[in-house]
Amino acid sequence: MNSDDLNLFVRVAELGSLSAAGRDLRLSPAVVSSRIQRLESQLGLRLLNRTTRQVNVTPDGETFYEHCLEILKTIESAQDAVSARRNKPAGSLKVSAPTAFARLHVAPHIPTFLKRFPEIQFQLIASDRFTSFIDEKVDLAIRIAELKDSSFIVRRLADNTRVLCASPAYLSANPAITKPGDLSTHNCLLLRFPGSQQFEWLLQGPDGEILAPTVQGNMDSDNGEILTEWCLQGHGIALKSIWEIGPFLRDHRLVVVLPEYKPQAHTIHTLYPHARFLPPRVRAFIDFMVETIGDPPYWERP
């Protein structure tokens, strides 16, 4: 049997859809259907029950699925072991990162990474939702959040310095902001999506006290880059990471508000599942990103 066919069947079973598995593996629905039929013909068993709306795994398919997982895991371990021995990271690498961070600080560096490691096939998932390692077969995730799940291996990439900021035009047209309480009278641009806590601005004062001033406004979004654009246009005050707005602070299109009050910040981490043997391609990418970002991170340097 072809191991690619086994992997295809696993993805169909996990996603419950031929078309979804095809999109994930960059195959047409017709090719997916043909290869599943070929696999069923080789086995002499029906693995899937298909309807116009969904695909269900048969009892025989469930048994076959469990064995496929073991087979594919063994193949991957063998490939990783050979790759480590050759000291040439190789194979498929799927990385998840927040949308804006992926666009600004991951995607631009991937050509350099692949030039260094040409035997790696790279896939980047840019999404602000928390990607499932299991459902989407992610090898590594970049997270900018408080990490509560101890089932992952975590490595620090960089500190995430955050500030309150606004455009000079907005500040000149509105009352002065001298203390956190003044924010309640200003239009605050808030990031809202399921699981987000950024609509609650926690600030650490000069004496170390934690303040939670009332913030509200008439413009919310689930996309941080939209908030940055609104801020640049002079529509309000935003809480932003330096990695998002560094260039705009340097050219004075944005100004830091209440610089003595620091928004609570979470470290930028890489996460990967606990594993006895870390694939060389994953280790290579983590080391590359740590080297590329530097300490302090390049976006905070003068």
SS3 119: coil
Instruction: Select 162-263's CATH number: 3.40.190.290, 2.40.40.20, 3.40.50.2300, 2.60.40.10.
Output: 3.40.190.290
Burial class of residue 202 in the structure, from the number of CB atoms within 10 Å of its CB (0-12 exposed, 13-18 middle, 19+ buried) = middle
Burial class of residue 167, CB neighbours in 10 A (0-12, 13-18, 19+): buried
Q: What is the pLDDT of residues 41-74, one digit of tens each?
A: 999 989 998 876 778 899 999 999 899 888 887 8
pLDDT at 153: 78
The token duo for 245 is: 């707005």
Query: Which option is the CATH number for 3-83: 1.10.3720.10, 1.10.3470.10, 1.10.238.10, 1.10.10.10?
Result: 1.10.10.10
Report the C-alpha gap between 258 and 165 in whole angstroms. Answer: 8
In the chain, the amino acid numbered 16 is G
Nearest-angstrom CA–CA distance, 132 and 207: 40
Name the least confident of 113-117, 124-128, 145-149: 145-149
Mean pLDDT confidence for 153-178: 93
Q: How far apart are alpha carbons 287 and 291 in whole angstroms?
A: 6
C-alpha dist (Å) from residue 86 to 82, 83, 227: 6, 5, 47
Tell me, yes or no, if the two domains 88-158+267-300 and 162-263 fold the same way. Answer: yes
Greater model confidence, 225 or 193: 225
Q: Note the pLDDT tens digit of each residue in 240-278.
A: 999 999 999 999 999 999 999 999 878 899 988 765 567
Residues in the chain: 302
Q: Which tops the pLDDT comparison, 6 or 277?
A: 6
Judged against a pLDDT cut of 60, whether residue 195 lies above it is answered with no
Do the beta carbons of residue 282 and residue 139 sit within 8 Å? yes
For residue 103, what pLDDT is reported? 95
Q: What percent of the chain has pLDDT over 90?
A: 51
The helix/strand/coil state of 5 is: helix
| pLDDT at residue 29 greater than cutoff 70 | yes
Distances (CA, A) of 28 to 22, 34, 58: 6, 10, 23
The answer to whether residue 136 scores a pLDDT higher than 80 is no
Every domain of the chain and the residues it spans: 3-83, 88-158+267-300, 162-263
CA distances from 37 to 30, 34, 60, 99 (A): 11, 5, 15, 37
Residue 123, phi then psi, degrees to nearest 5:
-130, 125
Average pLDDT value over all residues in the chain:
87
Q: What distance in Å separates the CA atoms of residue 279 and residue 265, rounded to the nearest whole number?
A: 30
Instruction: Name the helix (H) or strand (E) containing 66.
Output: helix 59-86
- Cis ω before 175 (30° cut-off from 0): no
Report residue 83 CA to chain centroid gap.
26
For residue 120, pLDDT over 90 is answered with yes
Give the architecture-level CATH label for domain 88-158+267-300.
3-Layer(aba) Sandwich (3.40)
Is the Cα dihedral 114, 117, 122, 126 positive or negative?
negative
d(CA 67, CA 96): 27
